[in-house]
Amino acid sequence: MTEFTTQWCDVPMGRIRVRTAGSGPPLMFTHGLLVDGRIWDQVAGPVAERGFTVVLPDLPLGSHTVAVADRAKLTTASVADCLFDVADRLGVDRFAIVGFDTGGAVSQIAAASRPDRIDRLALMSCDAFEHFPPPLIKPFKWATHSSLAMTLVLKSLSPRLQHWPLPLGLVAKRKIDPALVRAWAEPSGKDRAVRADCVAFIKQMDAADTLAAAEKLRDFHGPSMVMWSRHDRVFPRRDAQRLADLLPRGELRWIDDAYTFASLDNPARMIELVLEFLALP
Protein backbone atom coordinates (compact mmCIF):
# COMPACT_ATOMS: atom_id res chain seq x y z
CA MET A 1 0.00 0.00 0.00
CA THR A 2 1.42 3.36 -1.07
CA GLU A 3 1.98 5.85 1.74
CA PHE A 4 0.86 9.40 1.03
CA THR A 5 2.46 12.44 2.61
CA THR A 6 -0.08 15.00 3.84
CA GLN A 7 0.55 18.72 4.02
CA TRP A 8 -1.56 21.85 4.25
CA CYS A 9 -1.05 24.50 1.59
CA ASP A 10 -2.05 28.05 2.43
CA VAL A 11 -3.33 29.60 -0.80
CA PRO A 12 -5.56 32.61 -1.51
CA MET A 13 -8.63 30.36 -1.32
CA GLY A 14 -7.69 29.24 2.18
CA ARG A 15 -6.05 26.10 3.61
CA ILE A 16 -6.03 23.17 1.21
CA ARG A 17 -5.09 19.66 2.32
CA VAL A 18 -2.80 18.05 -0.24
CA ARG A 19 -1.52 14.50 -0.29
CA THR A 20 1.43 13.44 -2.43
CA ALA A 21 3.33 10.26 -3.17
CA GLY A 22 6.14 9.10 -5.41
CA SER A 23 8.81 10.97 -7.33
CA GLY A 24 9.15 11.95 -10.94
CA PRO A 25 6.98 13.95 -13.35
CA PRO A 26 4.04 15.52 -11.48
CA LEU A 27 0.45 14.42 -12.04
CA MET A 28 -2.47 16.12 -10.28
CA PHE A 29 -5.82 14.38 -9.77
CA THR A 30 -9.03 16.35 -9.19
CA HIS A 31 -12.34 15.17 -7.76
CA GLY A 32 -16.03 16.04 -7.72
CA LEU A 33 -18.63 17.46 -5.38
CA LEU A 34 -18.98 15.94 -1.91
CA VAL A 35 -15.92 13.70 -2.18
CA ASP A 36 -12.20 14.36 -1.82
CA GLY A 37 -8.90 13.18 -3.27
CA ARG A 38 -9.19 9.78 -1.63
CA ILE A 39 -11.48 8.70 -4.44
CA TRP A 40 -8.24 8.30 -6.44
CA ASP A 41 -6.11 6.41 -3.91
CA GLN A 42 -6.43 2.98 -5.55
CA VAL A 43 -5.22 4.48 -8.83
CA ALA A 44 -2.80 7.19 -7.70
CA GLY A 45 -0.81 4.87 -5.43
CA PRO A 46 0.15 2.37 -8.17
CA VAL A 47 0.84 5.23 -10.60
CA ALA A 48 3.23 6.79 -8.07
CA GLU A 49 5.06 3.47 -7.85
CA ARG A 50 5.68 3.65 -11.62
CA GLY A 51 7.86 6.75 -11.32
CA PHE A 52 5.51 9.72 -11.00
CA THR A 53 4.73 12.28 -8.33
CA VAL A 54 1.00 12.16 -7.72
CA VAL A 55 -0.72 15.18 -6.18
CA LEU A 56 -4.18 14.89 -4.65
CA PRO A 57 -5.62 18.20 -3.40
CA ASP A 58 -8.87 18.24 -1.43
CA LEU A 59 -10.68 21.03 -3.25
CA PRO A 60 -13.40 23.13 -1.53
CA LEU A 61 -16.27 21.16 -3.05
CA GLY A 62 -18.16 20.08 0.05
CA SER A 63 -16.00 17.40 1.67
CA HIS A 64 -13.19 19.79 2.62
CA THR A 65 -12.57 20.22 6.34
CA VAL A 66 -11.49 23.87 6.45
CA ALA A 67 -13.88 26.51 5.10
CA VAL A 68 -12.60 28.90 2.44
CA ALA A 69 -11.23 32.32 3.33
CA ASP A 70 -13.74 34.33 1.28
CA ARG A 71 -16.88 32.52 0.16
CA ALA A 72 -17.87 35.39 -2.15
CA LYS A 73 -14.87 34.51 -4.29
CA LEU A 74 -15.65 30.79 -4.46
CA THR A 75 -16.12 30.21 -8.19
CA THR A 76 -15.17 27.49 -10.63
CA ALA A 77 -12.41 29.75 -11.98
CA SER A 78 -11.04 30.41 -8.49
CA VAL A 79 -10.96 26.68 -7.75
CA ALA A 80 -9.08 26.24 -11.04
CA ASP A 81 -6.61 28.86 -9.80
CA CYS A 82 -6.20 26.73 -6.67
CA LEU A 83 -4.58 24.03 -8.77
CA PHE A 84 -1.83 26.41 -9.78
CA ASP A 85 -1.53 27.84 -6.27
CA VAL A 86 -1.04 24.33 -4.88
CA ALA A 87 1.51 23.57 -7.60
CA ASP A 88 3.38 26.76 -6.69
CA ARG A 89 3.50 25.76 -3.01
CA LEU A 90 4.92 22.40 -4.04
CA GLY A 91 7.51 24.00 -6.30
CA VAL A 92 5.92 22.56 -9.45
CA ASP A 93 5.85 24.57 -12.67
CA ARG A 94 4.26 22.33 -15.33
CA PHE A 95 2.17 19.30 -14.51
CA ALA A 96 -0.19 16.77 -16.02
CA ILE A 97 -3.75 16.68 -14.78
CA VAL A 98 -6.57 14.14 -14.60
CA GLY A 99 -9.87 15.97 -14.22
CA PHE A 100 -12.86 14.04 -12.93
CA ASP A 101 -16.51 14.90 -12.25
CA THR A 102 -16.80 18.54 -11.11
CA GLY A 103 -13.02 18.58 -11.02
CA GLY A 104 -13.15 17.91 -14.75
CA ALA A 105 -14.85 21.26 -15.30
CA VAL A 106 -12.26 22.86 -13.03
CA SER A 107 -9.47 21.17 -15.02
CA GLN A 108 -10.88 22.32 -18.35
CA ILE A 109 -10.95 25.91 -17.13
CA ALA A 110 -7.41 25.57 -15.77
CA ALA A 111 -6.06 24.20 -19.05
CA ALA A 112 -7.96 26.81 -21.06
CA SER A 113 -6.74 29.72 -18.94
CA ARG A 114 -3.09 28.69 -18.42
CA PRO A 115 -2.11 26.09 -21.02
CA ASP A 116 1.55 26.95 -20.46
CA ARG A 117 1.33 25.31 -17.02
CA ILE A 118 -0.51 22.12 -18.07
CA ASP A 119 1.79 19.56 -19.64
CA ARG A 120 -1.01 17.15 -20.64
CA LEU A 121 -4.72 16.83 -19.94
CA ALA A 122 -6.98 13.86 -19.19
CA LEU A 123 -10.71 14.20 -18.58
CA MET A 124 -12.65 11.35 -17.00
CA SER A 125 -16.47 11.26 -16.81
CA CYS A 126 -16.99 14.92 -16.03
CA ASP A 127 -19.05 18.07 -16.46
CA ALA A 128 -18.63 19.55 -19.94
CA PHE A 129 -20.25 21.89 -22.42
CA GLU A 130 -23.88 22.67 -21.47
CA HIS A 131 -23.90 19.98 -18.77
CA PHE A 132 -22.53 22.04 -15.89
CA PRO A 133 -24.10 21.04 -13.64
CA PRO A 134 -25.20 17.69 -15.08
CA PRO A 135 -28.87 16.70 -14.82
CA LEU A 136 -28.32 14.72 -11.59
CA ILE A 137 -27.03 17.80 -9.77
CA LYS A 138 -29.61 20.28 -11.07
CA PRO A 139 -31.99 19.62 -8.13
CA PHE A 140 -29.13 20.65 -5.83
CA LYS A 141 -28.76 23.89 -7.78
CA TRP A 142 -32.48 24.57 -7.55
CA ALA A 143 -32.30 23.91 -3.81
CA THR A 144 -29.66 26.64 -3.39
CA HIS A 145 -32.41 29.24 -3.84
CA SER A 146 -33.70 28.20 -0.41
CA SER A 147 -31.18 28.03 2.41
CA LEU A 148 -33.48 25.71 4.32
CA ALA A 149 -33.91 23.34 1.37
CA MET A 150 -30.18 23.18 0.72
CA THR A 151 -29.38 22.66 4.38
CA LEU A 152 -31.81 19.75 4.47
CA VAL A 153 -30.31 18.25 1.31
CA LEU A 154 -26.76 18.38 2.64
CA LYS A 155 -27.70 17.32 6.15
CA SER A 156 -29.41 14.29 4.62
CA LEU A 157 -25.89 13.21 3.65
CA SER A 158 -24.86 13.15 7.29
CA PRO A 159 -22.65 10.43 8.77
CA ARG A 160 -25.76 8.76 10.19
CA LEU A 161 -26.78 7.81 6.64
CA GLN A 162 -23.69 5.81 5.88
CA HIS A 163 -24.61 4.35 2.52
CA TRP A 164 -26.25 7.21 0.56
CA PRO A 165 -28.19 4.46 -1.31
CA LEU A 166 -29.76 6.54 -4.07
CA PRO A 167 -26.82 8.79 -5.07
CA LEU A 168 -24.19 6.09 -4.67
CA GLY A 169 -26.26 3.58 -6.62
CA LEU A 170 -26.15 6.00 -9.54
CA VAL A 171 -22.44 6.76 -9.46
CA ALA A 172 -20.89 3.53 -8.15
CA LYS A 173 -21.54 0.02 -9.39
CA ARG A 174 -20.03 -1.54 -6.26
CA LYS A 175 -20.44 -0.75 -2.59
CA ILE A 176 -18.06 1.91 -1.31
CA ASP A 177 -16.24 1.53 1.99
CA PRO A 178 -18.69 2.94 4.59
CA ALA A 179 -15.82 4.63 6.46
CA LEU A 180 -14.91 6.56 3.34
CA VAL A 181 -18.54 7.55 2.77
CA ARG A 182 -18.76 8.81 6.35
CA ALA A 183 -15.56 10.81 5.90
CA TRP A 184 -16.97 12.45 2.78
CA ALA A 185 -20.33 13.21 4.36
CA GLU A 186 -19.12 14.49 7.71
CA PRO A 187 -17.78 17.97 6.78
CA SER A 188 -20.97 19.26 5.14
CA GLY A 189 -23.13 17.38 7.62
CA LYS A 190 -21.50 18.85 10.71
CA ASP A 191 -19.80 22.12 9.75
CA ARG A 192 -22.11 24.99 8.83
CA ALA A 193 -19.31 26.94 7.15
CA VAL A 194 -18.29 24.02 4.92
CA ARG A 195 -21.96 23.47 4.09
CA ALA A 196 -22.24 27.13 3.10
CA ASP A 197 -19.16 26.77 0.88
CA CYS A 198 -20.78 23.85 -0.90
CA VAL A 199 -24.00 25.79 -1.40
CA ALA A 200 -22.10 28.79 -2.74
CA PHE A 201 -20.17 26.68 -5.23
CA ILE A 202 -23.23 24.83 -6.52
CA LYS A 203 -25.16 28.08 -6.85
CA GLN A 204 -22.56 29.64 -9.14
CA MET A 205 -22.14 26.60 -11.44
CA ASP A 206 -22.83 27.88 -14.94
CA ALA A 207 -22.56 26.13 -18.29
CA ALA A 208 -21.28 29.38 -19.79
CA ASP A 209 -17.96 28.64 -18.07
CA THR A 210 -17.53 25.14 -19.51
CA LEU A 211 -18.72 26.21 -22.95
CA ALA A 212 -16.16 29.04 -22.98
CA ALA A 213 -13.41 26.69 -21.78
CA ALA A 214 -14.29 24.19 -24.50
CA GLU A 215 -13.73 26.80 -27.19
CA LYS A 216 -10.29 27.63 -25.79
CA LEU A 217 -9.36 23.96 -25.51
CA ARG A 218 -9.38 23.79 -29.30
CA ASP A 219 -5.98 25.49 -28.96
CA PHE A 220 -4.62 23.15 -26.28
CA HIS A 221 -1.94 21.15 -28.07
CA GLY A 222 -0.63 18.99 -25.24
CA PRO A 223 -1.22 15.22 -25.23
CA SER A 224 -4.85 14.63 -24.21
CA MET A 225 -7.08 11.71 -23.34
CA VAL A 226 -10.79 11.45 -22.60
CA MET A 227 -11.62 8.46 -20.36
CA TRP A 228 -15.33 7.75 -19.95
CA SER A 229 -17.38 5.08 -18.25
CA ARG A 230 -19.33 3.35 -20.98
CA HIS A 231 -22.32 2.92 -18.65
CA ASP A 232 -22.09 6.29 -16.89
CA ARG A 233 -25.47 7.37 -15.51
CA VAL A 234 -24.54 10.97 -14.76
CA PHE A 235 -22.44 12.36 -17.60
CA PRO A 236 -23.67 11.92 -21.19
CA ARG A 237 -21.53 9.62 -23.32
CA ARG A 238 -21.81 11.96 -26.28
CA ASP A 239 -19.82 14.55 -24.33
CA ALA A 240 -16.87 12.15 -24.29
CA GLN A 241 -16.72 12.11 -28.08
CA ARG A 242 -17.26 15.86 -28.27
CA LEU A 243 -14.33 16.52 -25.93
CA ALA A 244 -12.07 14.12 -27.79
CA ASP A 245 -13.00 15.75 -31.10
CA LEU A 246 -12.30 19.30 -30.00
CA LEU A 247 -8.92 18.58 -28.36
CA PRO A 248 -6.31 18.71 -31.15
CA ARG A 249 -4.49 15.64 -29.78
CA GLY A 250 -7.44 14.03 -28.04
CA GLU A 251 -7.63 10.26 -27.59
CA LEU A 252 -10.89 8.59 -26.47
CA ARG A 253 -10.91 5.51 -24.26
CA TRP A 254 -13.91 3.72 -22.76
CA ILE A 255 -14.12 2.19 -19.30
CA ASP A 256 -16.24 -0.94 -18.84
CA ASP A 257 -17.61 -2.54 -15.67
CA ALA A 258 -17.94 0.83 -13.92
CA TYR A 259 -20.25 3.78 -13.40
CA THR A 260 -19.06 7.34 -12.78
CA PHE A 261 -16.75 6.41 -9.88
CA ALA A 262 -14.56 4.24 -12.11
CA SER A 263 -11.51 4.76 -9.89
CA LEU A 264 -13.39 2.72 -7.26
CA ASP A 265 -15.37 0.39 -9.52
CA ASN A 266 -12.55 -0.60 -11.87
CA PRO A 267 -9.20 0.70 -10.57
CA ALA A 268 -7.19 -1.75 -12.69
CA ARG A 269 -8.59 -0.26 -15.90
CA MET A 270 -8.03 3.27 -14.59
CA ILE A 271 -4.39 2.54 -13.73
CA GLU A 272 -3.91 1.16 -17.24
CA LEU A 273 -5.47 4.25 -18.83
CA VAL A 274 -3.60 6.77 -16.68
CA LEU A 275 -0.27 5.12 -17.50
CA GLU A 276 -1.20 5.07 -21.20
CA PHE A 277 -2.11 8.76 -20.95
CA LEU A 278 1.22 9.58 -19.32
CA ALA A 279 3.06 7.76 -22.12
CA LEU A 280 1.31 9.62 -24.96
CA PRO A 281 3.93 11.28 -27.20
Task: Tell me what pLDDT residue 148 has.
Answer: 56
Which whole-number Å values give the CA distances from 26 to 51, 76, 237, in the listed order? 10, 23, 29
| Pair type for strands 95-101 and 118-126 | parallel
| 160 has a pLDDT exceeding 70 | no
Residue 5 sits at φ, ψ, to 5 deg, of: -95, 130
List of residues 6+ apart from 19 with CB closer than 8 A:
4, 5, 6, 7, 37, 55, 56, 58
Q: What is the pLDDT of residue 135?
A: 78
- Residue 8's beta-bridge partner residues? 17
Domain assignments of the chain as residue spans, ordered by start: 5-131+207-279
pLDDT at residue 164 greater than cutoff 50 = no
Write the class of the CATH domain 5-131+207-279: alpha beta
pLDDT, mean of residues 52-56: 98
**Residue 48 pLDDT > 50, yes or no?**
yes
CA–CA dist 120, 117 (Å, integer): 9
pLDDT beyond 70 at 117: yes
Q: If DSSP codes are grouped into helix, strand and coil, which group holds residue 8?
A: strand
pLDDT in tens, 188-224: 888 999 989 998 999 899 999 999 999 999 999 999 9
pLDDT reported for residue 108: 98
User: Model confidence over 236-266: pLDDT tens digits?
Assistant: 999 999 999 999 999 999 999 999 999 999 9
Mean pLDDT of the chain: 91
pLDDT band at 183 (very low <50, low <70, confident <90, very high): very high
pLDDT of residue 116 exceeding 50, the answer is: yes
pLDDT of residue 165: 39
Q: Is 262 helix (H, G, I), strand (E, B) or coil?
A: helix
Check pLDDT > 60 for residue 11.
yes
pLDDT digits (tens, 9 = 90+) for 83-92: 999 999 999 9
Q: Which of left, alpha, beta for 73 (phi over 0: left; psi -120 to 50: alpha)?
A: alpha
- At residue 169 the predicted structure's pLDDT band, cuts being 50, 70 and 90, is confident
Task: Point out the least confidently predicted range of 15-19, 50-54, 194-198, 276-280.
Answer: 194-198
The pLDDT score that the predictor gives to residue 215 is 98
Going by pLDDT thresholds of 50, 70 and 90, the confidence category of residue 147 is low
pLDDT on residue 112: 98
User: What pLDDT score was predicted for residue 136?
Assistant: 73
> Model-level pTM greater than 0.85?
yes
